[in-house]
Amino acid sequence: MIVTIDKFSGFCWGVVRTIDIAEQELAQGEELYSLGDIIHNPAEIQRLGDHGLRTISTANLESVRGKKVLIRAHGEPPVTYKRAEELGITIIDATCPVVTKVQERIRRFYTDGYQVVIFGKKEHAEVIGLVGQTNGEAIVVNSLDEIGKVALDRKTVLFSQTTMDKATFHRLKEELQKKVKELVVGSIEDEAIEFHAKDTICGQVSGRDKKIREFAAGNDVVIFLAGRTSSNGKVLFDIARDANARTHFIETVSELSPAWFEGVTKVGITGATSTPQWVMEKVKLEIEARFGATSQESVQSQYSHP
């Protein structure tokens, strides 16, 4: 059995940036609080927690008056920044630049009188931040079945949570184009962040579609590693499983099942854009140790911890 790690897996650059910012602040030895889980991966949350990062919610902001609070990659609505200022909190803003661009575009269209429609998950942290740019007036739809929420007689702009699947977004766009008299699709075009698309789904998520399909199809069994609350993890897992029915989702190494590896010669390990390389390496070593795999050097990602 040979085990390989998908060379295109691991942290997206937006998550790398957020983790780097957190580590730089923690290195100064001061208290640092993350507003919500810094990423949707328990192992990485624990690692940073061991270095002093504490997680709080917006409801706890008053308890950290005068402290440093990190805004994670998902971003926050304007009311969070306003409340932090009132409490004398120093904001360490690690919002992903792609998310910041989406927020700016939404705010601009809202100010111009557009009905803002966001394809996403209403309770997701990023979507809460996006809706906040419209004083809570944006309409969030998660499927074609929810198009009925949209007022068809208003000029409308369609945006997306950055980690949603591109195929459904385009189907939603096509349906709205049939029904809404004036529809604009929000866009981001910025060479500095290498994002060229007619929608606002992150290029590092949508760009993995083809690569993860090829990787999954090229292995007998695929272990997909991600936090269970990871939005892009759910999207990418479904894509991998579509290409290879023997794709298994795990959050920790303890979930590995011996039955998955019986008679298998090629095992692939991949994950979400919030899955650390060091965690995938740990899973690889466990599979090799427990199921008699032949070691094969994996390709290191852009961000790895021992």
Asked if 179 and 147 count as a contact pair (C-beta separation under 8 A), the reply is yes
Alpha helices in 180-300 (DSSP H): 203-206, 208-217, 231-243, 277-291
129 vs 107: CA distance, rounded Å: 11
Of 25, 44, 126, 281, the active-site residue reads: 126
d(CA 42, CA 210): 27
How many residues are listed for the chain in this entry? 306
- Residues linked to residue 221 through DSSP beta bridges, in sequence order: 267
- Nearest by Cα to 205 from 13, 4, 6: 13
**CA-to-CA distance for 39 and 42, rounded, in angstroms?**
8
Helix (H, G, I), strand (E, B) or coil at 167: helix
Comparing CA positions, the residue from 295, 261, 164, 204 lying closest to residue 9 is 204
Q: What are phi and psi of 297, to 5 degrees?
A: -60, 130
Contact between 138 and 103 under an 8 Å Cβ cutoff? The reply is no
Active site annotation includes 175:
no
The residues carrying an active-site annotation are: 126
